[in-house]
Chain A
Amino acid sequence: MRLELGNIYVKDVQFGAKTEFKDGIVYVNKEELIKELQDERLSKIDVDIVRPGDSVRICPVKDVLEPRVKVSGNGQVFPGFFGNAEVVGSGRTHVLKGMTVLTVGKIVGFQEGIIDMTGPGADYTPFSKTINLVILADKVEGLKQHEHEAAVRMAGLKATRYIAEVARNVEPDEIKVYETKPLAQQLNEYPELPKVAYVYMLQSQGLMHDTYLYGVDAKQILPTFIYPTEVMDGAIISGNCVSSCDKNTTFHHMNNPIIYDLYERHGKDYNFVGVICTNENVTLLDKERSSNFTAKLVEFLGVDGVIISEEGFGNPDADLIMNCRKISALGVKTVCVTDEYAGRDGASQSLADSHPSADAVVSGGNANEVITLPKLDRVIGYIDAVNVIAGGFDGSLAEDGSITVEIQAITGATNELGYNKMGALGF
């Protein structure tokens, strides 16, 4: 499977009479976009634009997405939600680089995030460096939480599809090619190099802790094997309200840095043969089954090494360790990517489970570290939420408008796909 990613660098996003791409600028017809997002479950929809450096705090952030459109090849971006769940990952996809679509609205659960476009908080989130088209969506009265989540999730997907359409006939600034061959061929491609795969753990702890693979709730999958390029076309999307610091937003999935970085040295240092998707269900039986199947797939593929990434923390630590332990027992080299909950003083044990086989760990940082974020000029969303979101606490919001939270509350702060440079070390 061969995918060309055509990156189109976005200089600015502005409202305009017509939704189009012109001279590096994405123009958005606000009324048309709002009409596109009409949903009987949503009472109010508004759209805003924020840019790096703006004195703006966005809260509570639900999901972040990147506009991508399929120009050629099978299917549509976000398969399973749009189109007929055709297999994506081949042909050409255009990407609006440097901007996001970001969904905000009244809190669904307890675990939605904060994005500061400037100030100390901006250092912790990648979305302070992008131009964000913010979709504010509020639910109608009486809507249940899981329906609320689903409605906002669909609004994000639809808005992203709508915006991405402007990129269809634009000549990209650069084209990057990613290719993985059918397994039997790929395995023979570089006979002298070690073979590696990526074990991609998807958050699936339950209602509102969900991830979708081709529209299927990951709770219901058995671990499966996909081409890495499928992910680049939105085969995996986020539907979850777990702590915002280490939930993989849809943007993170589409830009999964482990996949891009594994491609970077593919054919030089190893032969990257593909991606195993697995889940993080809550019962022991499910955990055992999924980790057994994951290890079986690793053995089936005959690879020499894997990178395993976790999503979330606590309960999924057990899945991470089971995967690591069972894969290592096959004689396969493992590297785990996780984050830490070492307490505000950093003195506690960071993970809920451990095993000596997990001897190569990359850390996305200690999510419990506390930070004070000064008042910013403008708030998009509902700032009261900081007292109840994960990482916040009663009294997080001070009278002067500053907030004191664990970095757990900042969207993408301790990302477990290794999207950031931050990490934790022992002192």
Chain B
Amino acid sequence: MAEIRVVHYLNQFFGQIGGEEKADIAPLKQDGPVGPGTALQQALDEDMKIVGTVICGDSYFNENTETALNKIIEMIKSYNPDIVIAGPGFNAGRYGMACGTVCKAVQERLNIPALTGLYEENPGTDMFKKDIYIIKTGNSAAQMRKAVPAMAKLAVKLAKGLPVGSPDEEGYFAKGIRKNVFHEKRGSARAVDMLVAKLKGEPFKTEYPMPIFDRVTPRPGVKDLSKAKIALVTSGGIVPKGNPDRIESSSASKYGKYDITGVYDLTEETYETAHGGYDPVYANQDADRVLPVDVLREMEKEGIIGSLHNVFYTTVGNGTSVANSKKFAHEIGLELKEAGVDAIILTST
């Protein structure tokens, strides 16, 4: 069997360039393994070889993501690899994001498997665990000796196209994919086993961990609308024409806030939607259909509401993670509270 070519991605610290003072270095490549690559090479099968290492400063990567990523992918590609291993990044936030971003891009652009290893609280874990295999690691480099063999074991399977076991067996974060399997016992016997364990207070393992929804208790109604300051917030993606903040059409990583002082109507010339999850024709014709500025201005004029807040907040709900949505809502909520807003109308699509 031909040799399996591996490329390893590291940050400036593990790549032995330097500490935080070197975090702004641009991508560079070195032939063969570097730093933790040596231990990784030993843990891999004999027919697998780390042919090159690509290194990039964490700050540089996160401040110039697109440029850095293009360069990194180009460098990785130059080694003609069969698989890419990034990190492990432990609990280093910027490094974790870089490892996740690189692995995801490798899979999408080069069509080869990629994996990394991160600590559960690393922001890269939540962001990328659905897209790539991320081996669970401890929170610091002290855990390197445990992380490397687990990553190597999974890398061997991915590189050779061998079946990958369950998250528990392999030690990766569940990707959230439900697959059918045949158990040893029928379902009713498994249910009885589970009930007996639960009654005895012994450990048991559910076959389907419930997704936990965050339920928000609605606020009491507004007592006097005619004195209330109302704000508009939407996940329908309405933005000023041209989408100045480049809110993504799907899986939004940000929200926008836009001043509508003196705006009485959203027109085809001035506003549009950034949302990629629905037919945008009618929203682009008249964005008031999603964000009803026109109606609220009339109500403001007629004294039905006190006033319309002069800033609206917007993002794209399409495929956007619960984690991001929560973060946006928290920040928007605080700003609206500070601005003395009494009530918010939330519109979706």
Contacts and interface: CB of A to CB of B under 8 A. Distances in A.
> Do the two shown chains form a genuine complex with each other?
yes
Interface residues of A, number: 55
B183 interface: yes
A361 B198 CA distance: 12
B66 to A, nearest CB: 27
B195 A361 contact: no
B167 A362 contact: no
B211 A349 contact: yes
Contacts of A427: 164, 166-167, 174-175, 177-179
Nearest to B189: A261
Query: Which of B185, B190, B199 has most A Cβ within 10 Å?
Result: B199
Given A427-B167, A427-B174, A354 B194 contact: no
Interface stretch (B47-55, B201-209, B239-247): B201-209
B212 interface: yes
B176 interface: yes
A223 interface: no
Contact of B188 (A261, A361, A369): A261
Contacts of A305: 195, 198-199
B212 A350 contact: no
Query: Which of B177, B195, B207, B213 has most A Cβ within 10 Å?
Result: B195
Interface in B21-35: none
A383 interface: no
A11 interface: no
Interface string A359-383: 1111111100100000000000000
B167 A257 contact: no
A257 B210 CA distance: 24
B208 A417 contact: no
B180 A354 contact: no
Interface in B162-198: 164, 166-167, 174-192, 194-196, 198
Contacts of A258: 188, 191-192
B153 interface: no
Nearest to B175: A427
Given A305-B195, A427-B175, A366 B190 contact: no
Contact of A354 (B177, B192, B213): B213
A238 to B, nearest CB: 18
B71 to A, nearest CB: 31
Given A361-B206, A419-B187, A425 B166 contact: yes
Give chain B's interface secondary structure class.
loop
Contacts, number: 157
Given A424-B208, A426-B167, A362 B194 contact: yes
A354 B174 contact: no
A216 interface: no
Nearest to A308: B191
Contacts of A346: 177-179
A269 interface: yes
Given A424-B178, A425-B166, A337 B191 contact: yes
Nearest to A359: B206
Nearest to A364: B187
Nearest to A337: B191
A261 B192 CA distance: 7
B160 interface: no
A338 B208 contact: yes
Given A333-B198, A427-B166, A361 B207 contact: yes
A194 B192 CA distance: 13
Contacts of A350: 178, 208
B130 interface: yes
Contacts of A364: 187
Contact of A356 (B174, B196, B210): B210
Contact of A365 (B180, B185, B190): B180
B208 A361 contact: yes
Contacts of B187: 257, 337, 362-364, 415-421, 423
Contacts of A407: 180
A355 B199 contact: no
Contact of A265 (B181, B192, B212, B213): B192
B183 A422 contact: yes
Contacts of B208: 338, 340, 350-351, 361, 363, 424, 426
- For the complex of A and B, the 10 pairs showing the least CB-CB separation, nearest first, are A418-B187, A418-B188, A257-B188, A342-B178, A346-B178, A354-B210, A361-B208, A363-B207, A333-B198, A261-B188
20 contacts: A257-B188, A261-B192, A262-B192, A306-B195, A337-B187, A338-B208, A356-B212, A362-B194, A366-B178, A366-B179, A369-B180, A418-B188, A420-B186, A421-B182, A421-B183, A421-B186, A424-B179, A425-B178, A425-B181, A427-B178
Given A269-B199, A351-B208, 14 more contacts: A194-B199, A196-B195, A257-B188, A307-B191, A333-B199, A338-B208, A340-B208, A418-B188, A419-B188, A424-B179, A424-B208, A425-B181, A426-B209, A427-B166
Interface of A: 194, 196, 257-258, 260-262, 264-265, 269-270, 304-307, 333-335, 337-338, 340, 342, 345-347, 349-351, 354-356, 358-366, 369, 407, 415-427
